[in-house]
Chain A
Amino acid sequence: MTYAIRAEGLVRRFGATTALAGVDLAVPTGTVFGLLGPNGAGKTTAVRVLATLLAADEGHATVGGYDVRRDAHRVRQLIGLTGQYASVDENLTGTENLLLIGRLLGMSRGDARSRARQLLADFQLTDAAERAAKTYSGGMRRRLDLAASLVGRPQVLFLDEPTTGLDPRSRNELWDIVRNLVADGVTVLLTTQYLEEADQLAGEIAVVDHGRVIAQGTPEELKARTGGQVLAVRPIDPADLPTVLAITGEVTGAAPEVAQSTVAVPVNDPAVLPAVVRRLDAAEIAVAELALRSASLDEVFLSLTGHRAEQDAPTDADLERILV
């Protein structure tokens, strides 16, 4: 198997904060690899190191077989980068943005123009092609961002939280685009805070927390390890919470948690649902809500790390900004 991306022991510190604490990655060519983790986990820092924007303090990495430090210029000829912090120029039109990149990549004026036209059509931006990007909607901006990273037909594409802040429809459109790229043989490294997104797109997922990969596997493997689903029970009378806690804990064999008058417990076997219902009925507990839902990132984290994902932690970019 050939690897489009390999990283060994990447360490990167910002002052006293360690953003990457020894990250190893191996992404097979032609696959989608998901880096899943909360804000501040080190995902963006990892992408910035791999995309040659940031030097690692320790460890090394190759992209397309080239070292990201020594052969940065070669790596840049193989990659595309789209993300929160790699953006288009708002004061240029869609066409001008893509022309700019085509020209910077050494295309002739004519080639750059026809490539821009083709990408704008592929991404349903033809009607907006001559408008400044600052007038675009969030979904259009992301599509233009993605188009901009594809001008040079990259072999390896970095997508840093490509759907954060997008509505569900735009998100689905973006997912379809990524699937098509992979069908064409592009290797994609995707960072996301959403388990569902990693699940939808990635063949393999690495869960990142505090700058380390704490779990890795296919989405199915991870879900099996982390329970995969969560049973939520909310009694009408909050006084019943201790009984509900005891029943769910006993039936599932896991440790339930209470939040907002709801008991939540990881579930591996959907067969526990009827058992819980019978026990609640026998205990004459009236229930306002009883649901089996997919584990959220939070629960994956809880189960893998014993602590919740800290959603309000500073992002990597914030850390870098604080330091300057």
Chain B
Amino acid sequence: MSSATLAAPLAPARRPSLAAGLRHTFTLAWRSLVQIKHNPMELLDLSIQPVMFVLLFTYVFGTAIAGSPGDYLTFALPGIIVQNAFFATMTTGFGLNNDLTKGVFDRLQSLPVARWAPLAGRIVADTVKQAWSVALLLGVGMLLGFRVGTGFAGLLAAFALLLVFSLAASWISVLVGVLVSEPDKVQIFGFMVIFPLTFTSNAFVPTDKMPSWLQRWVEINPATILADALRGLLVSGPVAGPVARSLIWAAVLLAVFAPLAVRALRRRA
């Protein structure tokens, strides 16, 4: 260690370059993903929960709601994918809060790393996790009889729309992750908000089977709009309208929650 003081750069850079920031982002994304190795519960969370939802909904509600499990799966799988996407965004806030409360965030902030990289790295990693569970849901759905009626382009577009929407929605999770005092509270928030949100949409039950006072909310619920967009892209039905409205929702969520989250993070850190 005798070279300790000599090894430091003589004229350190004033700011990290964009390339350096991207490198930091991918290094930090690697860090979030490699954690799964030591925390197998997380992989179970990402895998078993979605599969369980598909099986339970299809066989418990299928006949009652749609006449047969097969018909119900065609209707509900896009909805289940939407619900899963909402839950998956909570991972971002959970991980961020963990970093904040355990002091990892401070350690990262004390390094010459681009200020946005810790958050960006987390979001990149969570996008990978999201893609994994969507692929798993589609895979299990197909084993049970779900058929993509639109082709490969539709599948790709559905993936892209989900990722864009999740990216925007994860800012809610970031805000919650910054504000609450411990990681478990992020999960509690997730359950308290995401369950009612997705159940008062047409993700699992068609709008016309709900009480009329509820229908007005169901129609503007972002979970409904996103589920309709996925139905259009994966099965059949209108595409342009629901996709456009999903993107508007994504833009609204981004515009409202990203600045709030960044401000809260600045104040806390």
A interface with B by C-beta (< 8 Å): 48, 51-54, 71, 73-74, 76-81, 83-93, 96, 100-101, 103-106, 122, 132, 134, 148-150, 152-155, 180-181, 184-186, 320-321, 323-324
**Contact assessment for A93 and B181 in the assembled complex, using a CB-CB cutoff below 8 Å:** no
Within 8 A of A (CB), among B28-42: 28, 30-31, 34-35, 38-39
Q: Contact between A92 and B38 (Cβ–Cβ < 8 Å)? A: yes
Q: Is B4 touching A86 in the complex (CB atoms < 8 A)?
A: no
Contacts of B103 in A (CB 8 A): 83-87
Residues A186 and B110 in contact in the complex (CB < 8 Å), given A73-B13, A104-B27: no
Q: Check if A52 sits within 8 Å of B109, measured CB to CB.
A: yes
**Pair count A-B, CB < 8 A:** 122
| Interface positions of B from 123 to 171, Cβ below 8 Å from A | none
Contact partner of B9 (CB less than 8 A), chosen from A77, A101, A320, is A77
A148 to B2 alpha-carbon distance, docked (Å):
18
Q: Which residue of B lies closest to A85 (CB)?
A: B103
B32: min CB distance to chain A, Å: 9
- Candidate in A83, A92, A105, A186 with the most chain B CB atoms within 10 angstroms: A92
Q: Is the CB of B35 within 8 A of A89?
A: yes
Of A91, A103, A323, the contact of B39 (CB 8 Å cutoff): A91
* B15 proximity list for chain A (CB < 8 A): 73
CB–CB B16/A184 < 8 A: no
Least distance between B114 CB and chain A CB atoms (Å): 9
Known pairs A52-B110, A73-B15, A85-B106; A100 contacts B31 (CB<8 A) = yes
A73 to B99, CA, bound (A): 21
B104 within 8 A of A: yes
Distance in Å from the Cβ of B55 to the closest Cβ of chain A?
A: 29
- Our pick among B5, B31, B35, B104 for the contact of A155 (Cβ within 8 Å) is B5
Q: Separation in Å of the A50 CB from the closest CB of chain B?
A: 10
Partner of A186, one of B5, B14, B28: B5
Choose among A48, A104, A149 the residue with the greatest number of B CB atoms under 10 Å from its CB. Answer: A104
Residues on B with C-beta less than 8 A from A93 are: 38
Known: A77-B8, A89-B35, A185-B5. A101 touches B111 (CB 8 A): yes
Q: Which of B5, B30, B107, B110 contacts A184 (CB 8 A)?
A: B5
Q: Which residues of A contact B14 (CB under 8 A)?
A: 71, 73-74
Q: Say yes or no: is B179 at the interface (Cβ < 8 Å to chain A).
A: yes
* B267 at interface by CB-CB < 8 Å: yes
CB distance from B73 to the nearest CB of A (A): 36
Sampled A-B contacts (13; CB under 8 Å): A53-B110, A71-B14, A73-B112, A77-B13, A78-B12, A80-B110, A81-B110, A87-B104, A105-B111, A149-B107, A153-B7, A184-B5, A324-B268
